[in-house]
Amino acid sequence: MNYQNIFNLHGRMALVAGAGSGIGRESAMALAAFGAHVICADVNEAGARQTEELIHASGGLAESLEMDIRDAKKIDAALAGIAPIDILVSTPSINVRKPVLDLEEDEFDRIVDLNLKGTWLLLKYVARGMAQRKRGSIIVFSSIRGDVVEPGQGVYAATKSGVRQLCRALAAELGEQRVRVNLIAPGVVETPLTLQIKNHPDWYAAYADKSALKRWAQPSEMAGAVVYLASDASSYVTGSVLHVDGGWTAIDGRFTPPV
């Protein structure tokens, strides 16, 4: 084993869904930095194009395309126009913060349609090709909300728990085809999805205080986990959830007793 090349991604094609901003953008840039040719996909085509330009400016290989993972036909059409995918990173999610009993049916459908069904559609279309070629690494973003919940996040948490079991099943089904499927569970990360919290100082500070590191994460701090799971460094890792949460899920309760 040449350990100096264990993270080398040269010659591999990566598709990052949600690459137009936040964690998706940082994931795309990190994969490109380690040599992957990155397809920056997003429902926001302008955002995807901007990520492509950032990668080019850094000397990396990239292209961009519009993709709505809620639409099977659009996924299929997008994949038909690009090279076979070796690495898939799926980041898109939405949340509607409401108590379970107050959530409207259309809000429930909107969350599930993207977070769970959209992820399933993307996996279905990309993983088939990987299985046929007998190689590939799939990385799906779950959340600490797949472990622990709080008021107002019931359906979001259900989808994040659901994608875990979906990916674990896929890992079991595709193991013999040498396709690995893993998840990353971030803690609180400063992204467009969490802007609502950042605008409330007390809420923002309470979340920072909950983790062992006493701060929020930046989207770039998810990138190392993505590169690890995409590379040969994780060649025997599949069906796993990698927590990148600053110790959030390791800590019991909100009170630190005197010791």
∠139-85-225 over CA atoms, to 5°? 25
Told to judge if 204 belongs to the known catalytic residues of this protein, a careful annotator would answer: no
Token pair for residue 222? 């998810």
Quickly count: other Cβ atoms within 10 Å of residue 60's Cβ: 20
Cβ atoms 213, 155 nearer than 8 A: no
Return all residues near 181 (Cβ < 8 A) that are at least 6 apart: 123, 127, 138, 140, 167, 168, 170, 171, 174, 238, 239
Q: Which of 3, 125, 156, 236 is catalytic?
A: 156
217 phi/psi in degrees, rounded to 5: -90, 155
Which among 60, 13, 73, 12 is positioned nearest to 39, based on CA atoms?
13
Residues annotated catalytic, as ranges: 156
